[in-house]
Chains A and B, each alone.
Chain A
């Protein structure tokens, strides 16, 4: 069985037949070739696959592609606009918020929404907000620092 779905990702609308069992993350990575969204676990813990769907940060490994039918999605590839990095991307670069880079797309996508939803976000709120994103390299110190800096740049910040 296949189902025809239509999903708008980073401004482009894709219409595809998918097997219902196809996970959204596999649809994005394998069907569409947008490989910036990573997979780091198989139990919905690590957050590497975080994307924005209809304005919210979600984990694309726990969502079926058929559930995304008709939705608007942004992946890490669509975050920068007109060749200019998103302030969150810039902040991760400026503050050494990444090392191996594997958790980074998910971190950036999750963090972007944390700040958008809470412009005056505090360090404690940032740390709590990263409950669903694991990083094995940085010890989180520079990730927290990056998000704080981005919150400032995005017009808020505690």
Chain B
């Protein structure tokens, strides 16, 4: 509850933030602060400099651009929860993040830059095929969510880079989605999270995008599940069989802690993929 000392600078624009970052090498960016301040409270993080980007108006808000939705990194979980413009998957997932107070301050950009494996956004954005738009001293670039999330608290963000927006493709007709999450009983984080975007046509699955998170070091796509769904008439049996295929999509170590074993997470991911797909497909 008593962060260590740091110097504080407030950026009025992205370019000002980038120039401050160049001046202060060990600086951390402060958005809503709801990933950063809690770890600073415990002195698990002791950044010597904070650059507050929380007041850069351009970085906040939701807008529709052609076939996609652009979400500013300072957009809070609560704004996404309440938005009719974002994909339904996002507002549904937002409503299960932490608690109302945290959702009012915590931002999507801060969350994904922190890249906690138990967070919901990495899984959801991976399933949605979102693109992370980034500005840096060397110009701008865009990274797909699958490439953005690299590991435990690790992203492809370079030093001196800042997330400027997140682009999410809009769903077409006949597409349903759902996020299913096994909540940690204390923290509310995902022990297992599964996000599914399913397109149905005439009782057949014509498109499936599925991602899982919480149980591995970072959220991953589930191509085996997708393949097992696509082109099939979906019912309980086909969905269950597809969900079981998720085992083949898990890479790296399965996380475990004193409360939840890897074996349980591995079993639960099938259950939650099935739930997410069933709900997305309306079955």
Q: A-side interface residues toward B, CB under 8 Å?
A: 1, 3, 19-21, 23, 26, 39, 42-45, 47, 50, 56-59, 61-64, 66-67, 110, 113-114, 129, 131-133
With both chains docked as a complex, state the minimum distance between the C-beta of A88 and any C-beta of chain B, in angstroms.
Answer: 15
For the complex of A and B, the 4 pairs showing the least CB-CB separation, nearest first, are A132-B99, A20-B8, A131-B99, A56-B104
B105 touches A63 (CB 8 A): yes
Task: List chain A residues, Cβ under 8 A from B99.
Answer: 47, 131-133
With both chains docked as a complex, state the minimum distance between the C-beta of B73 and any C-beta of chain A, in angstroms.
Answer: 16
B41 touches A47 (CB 8 A): no
Q: How many B residues have CB within 8 A of the partner chain? A: 31
**Is B101 in contact with chain A by the CB < 8 A criterion?**
yes
Task: List chain B residues, Cβ under 8 A from A62.
Answer: 33-34, 37-38, 41, 102, 105
Please name the residue on chain B nearest to A109 by beta carbon.
B101
Residue in A19, A42, A47, A133 whose CB lies within 8 Å of B1: A42
Please name the residue on chain A nearest to B10 by beta carbon.
A66
With both chains docked as a complex, state the minimum distance between the C-beta of A59 and any C-beta of chain B, in angstroms.
Answer: 5
**Is B3 in contact with chain A by the CB < 8 A criterion?**
yes
A-B contact pairs, 29 of them (CB 8 A): A1-B8, A21-B4, A44-B34, A44-B41, A44-B102, A50-B101, A56-B104, A56-B105, A57-B104, A58-B101, A58-B104, A58-B105, A59-B102, A61-B1, A61-B41, A62-B37, A62-B41, A62-B102, A63-B37, A64-B30, A66-B52, A67-B33, A67-B54, A110-B100, A110-B101, A131-B99, A131-B188, A132-B102, A133-B99
B104 touches A63 (CB 8 A): no
| Interchain CA distance A21-B48 in the complex, whole Å | 11
With both chains docked as a complex, state the minimum distance between the C-beta of B240 and any C-beta of chain A, in angstroms.
Answer: 28
Residue in A39, A57, A61, A63 whose CB lies within 8 Å of B100: A57
